[in-house]
Amino acid sequence: MAEAQDLKHLLLETNDEYRQLASQHHSLDERLIALESKHYLSDAEQFEEITLKKQKLQLKDQMEAIVRHHLGGAQQPVTA
């Protein structure tokens, strides 16, 4: 786990694509925090909140794919 964290920090410093994805993820997170701080969301804001959450997940998936690639390929899931 520490190896993946170290790699994420290294990628932020050295990988433009990863850095851009992280920046977009952070921007979406800031907008979500602003929406979640409201006591009431309009229908449009509720739709925006759902859309932002989906976009954040897509960005995180892309970032994790880059990490897995740099760790030497996709890790196999453990099955029982």
Structural domain containing residue 44: 2-70
DSSP 3-58: HHHHHHHHHHHH-HHHHHHHHHHHHHHHHHHHHHTSS---HHHHHHHHHHHHHHHH
- Is 9 within a domain? yes
* pLDDT tens-place string over residues 11-35: 999 999 999 999 999 999 999 999 9
Per-residue pLDDT band for 72 (boundaries 50, 70, 90) equals: confident
User: Looking at the predicted structure, is the pLDDT value of residue 70 above 70?
Assistant: yes
* pLDDT tens-place string over residues 40-68: 999 999 999 999 999 999 999 999 999 99
- Is 46 within a domain? yes
Report the number of distinct structural domains present in the chain.
Answer: 1
- Is 80 within a domain? no
- Is 78 within a domain? no
